[in-house]
Chains A and B, each alone.
Chain A
């Protein structure tokens, strides 16, 4: 599988990243060697093998659906880069 600039740009877009040309070259080369390493997985016969998804296979314990206020609004807003008394604020990004 070829790791080219086009694929890197696509992955940047999906990852919401915008790499510098320098980082892009580094990561492109690294991905090549990492993929070379992980391609080894294709050697393993996984015909009729289920994927392992959940490590803890215990039966789920249900709890009553009760309302509780775990995070008061003031605390929730305390780390906001921008906020008013009630809401997170973001810059205007749409031109309506």
Chain B
């Protein structure tokens, strides 16, 4: 497979005529056809994108001065993002047939800058999962080819980039759902600061954790797109009014301070290849004049428990809206008032979603609220304070994105806790609302990809992307 072009070279090619928009779209659609068995897309907007490509080519020919910043860039969108007059289901039966009444702000900003949308990608139901196996459409598979998960929940998004079916994928990251699949599929995945990108038009899972994220082949591309989709939005009160930096002006980093945790790099579940690549990288960073320090962090074992208490609580509340009254699935077997809700929801939600709603309901229920929900919010505060303090002294926290490579489909069907615990390295950024990026670090002897993760302080996306950019040349 030829190496993928960056946005910059795509746009240069379109302007000098060596690339044609119709051909680009043909190639992407052909890649989708070729990888149909991977179950990447829930729906491909084939006719629509062909038409958009034709119109854009016309604009390139006649009004090259009026082209938007993302002209010619082909995006996939995760099936939790609303796009007016297109279906969106969160990979759930409960939203079967639902059609968006408005467009998510991030998608609107892409369209306004002449980006094109090729289709909506598979994911875990309501973004709840780490493997893209919990989808009503069936599991999405890793393009590596030996029946492995792509990671999740934005699994389809990661494979859509991996298999060259689009240039950049729009995903969402509540506890690692962009970074972990990026690591498993050998692509770059970034989750910006909480509130950096508007969540308007994103189907809510856990509102104080959810953030849109981007997946692509090149850090430069992610920087270019992030600049467009970030910024205040009057439709999302939690979106930040902090000015958006010029992320795309990437600079190589010099003389930076990296913090790592001994408990992470010596984690009992850490894959040996990942461990040795991580230490190799630390060595290279030191050679280049950076500082890499082992820093004390006492909360590693509390990250996943805090994350699951709070996200399930928020989910149980957010998902109460699926009642069969105004939209979505409604049971046909209704004989009483209680049947209406109970049967509708029981038929509509999959097992993992039910499990999380039940757990969330438990931690919020009378008698347990203080012991679990309120307790977890306090622990979150301690974690956040400790990390904020660390990032006053260090530029980045560095650690592997995952403990292991992608597992075989079905391997953890009967063991949800093991899957939850596998999120241990990614949930930290969401607990603290911090930006984080996963960059490909290496492959094992069988070609399975893994990634290295960087976290920086709030709204320091530029600094984070500069490091990711520099890593592309080191790793």
Contact = CB atoms under 8 A, between A and B. Distances in A.
Interface of A: 7-8, 10-12, 14-19, 23, 26-27, 30-31, 33-34, 37-44, 46, 49-56, 58, 60-61, 63, 70-71, 75-76, 78-82, 88, 90-91, 93-94
Given A34-B359, A93-B340, A46 B378 contact: yes
Interface of B: 97-99, 101-102, 194-195, 208, 234, 237-242, 299, 301-302, 304-306, 308-309, 316, 320, 323-330, 334, 336-337, 340-343, 345-346, 349, 351, 354-355, 357-359, 361-363, 365, 371-372, 374-382, 384, 416-417, 420-421, 433
Given A17-B357, A58-B241, A90-B325, A40 B302 contact: yes
B341 A12 contact: no
Contact of A27 (B320, B358, B363, B374): B358
A30 B416 contact: yes
Nearest to A20: B346
Main secondary structure of the interface of B (DSSP, over half): helix
B433 to A, nearest CB: 4
A16 B354 CA distance: 10
20 contacts: A14-B365, A15-B357, A15-B358, A15-B361, A18-B346, A33-B417, A37-B304, A38-B305, A40-B302, A44-B382, A50-B378, A58-B195, A58-B241, A70-B102, A78-B99, A81-B327, A88-B326, A90-B325, A90-B340, A91-B334
Contacts of B355: 27, 30-31
Contacts of A17: 342, 345-346, 349, 354, 357-358
A37 B195 contact: no
Contacts of A15: 316, 345, 354, 357-358, 361
Given A38-B305, A71-B102, A60 B375 contact: no
Contacts of B102: 70-71
B305 A56 contact: no
Contacts of A7: 362
Contacts of B349: 17
Given A51-B377, A56-B433, A16 B362 contact: no
Contact of B362 (A31, A82, A91): A31
B328 A37 contact: no
B381 A82 contact: no
Given A18-B346, A78-B99, A80-B326, A40 B365 contact: no
B208 A38 contact: no
4 closest A-B pairs by CB: A51-B377, A79-B327, A52-B381, A81-B330
A63 B236 CA distance: 13
A37 B302 contact: no
A59 to B, nearest CB: 9
Contacts of B345: 15-17
Given A30-B355, A38-B308, A18 B343 contact: yes
B348 to A, nearest CB: 10
A12 B340 contact: no
Given A17-B346, A17-B354, A31-B358, A46 B382 contact: yes
B377 A75 contact: no
A58 B240 CA distance: 7
A11 B417 contact: no
B308 A34 contact: yes
Contacts of A49: 378, 381-382
Contacts of A51: 374, 377-378, 380-381
Contact of A46 (B239, B330, B342, B379): B379
Nearest to B336: A93
A26 B351 contact: yes
Contacts of A34: 308, 359, 416-417, 420
